[in-house]
Amino acid sequence: MLPGSIAAELDRLNPGRIIVLGSAGVVSDGVMAALDAHDTGGGVLRIGGLDRYDTASRISAFHHPGGAPLAYVATGANFPDALAAGPAAAVRGAPTLLVQANAIPGSTSHELARLNMSRIILLGGPSVVSQAVQNSLVGYTAS
């Protein structure tokens, strides 16, 4: 169910398009159906993946189909670093991708390679993203 406050805000904003981030396990099909009532012609689009890493990668691919010169990377284990990356990434037109403490998930790896960026900004220190992952990230930047 779509909360009344959200419905009222959508009515006020009159959005040309609504993009929902997350699979049906995160945002129900019932909420998607309720959002249809607030669509002004651009449609309601869901971008979701198998997990948060895959969802972040799909968001990146949607918004950066031709690649990007810069990407922000943060741990997917908790939200503060990725949340902090959001505004900075948005201002710079860069995606935010997620890694695990000791590994780069396959979906993230694929998206990092596809982006063909020259720079990665990593948020969080070695307690949340290991030195091994940091070292691996360097290999995704174009020389």
- Banded pLDDT at 142 (limits 50, 70, 90): confident
Within 13 A of 20's CA, how many CA atoms are on the CB side?
A: 24
Instruction: Put residue 130 in one of left, alpha, beta given phi > 0 → left and psi -120 to 50 → alpha.
Output: beta
**What pLDDT does residue 42 have?**
87
The CA distance from 62 to 114, in Å, is: 12
Question: pLDDT tens for residues 104-120?
Answer: 999 999 999 999 999 99
Within 13 A of 13's CA, how many CA atoms are on the CB side?
A: 13
Question: pLDDT tens for residues 71-95?
Answer: 999 999 999 999 999 999 999 999 9
Query: In sequence order, what are the residues at sequence separation of 6 or more whose Cβ sits closer than 8 angstroms to the Cβ of residue 12?
Result: none
- Banded pLDDT at 143 (limits 50, 70, 90): low
- Banded pLDDT at 35 (limits 50, 70, 90): very high
Q: What mean pLDDT value characterizes the chain?
A: 95
Hey, is 39 helix, strand or coil? Answer: coil
**What pLDDT does residue 39 have?**
85
The CA distance from 57 to 51, in Å, is: 10
The CA distance from 83 to 14, in Å, is: 26
- Banded pLDDT at 4 (limits 50, 70, 90): very high
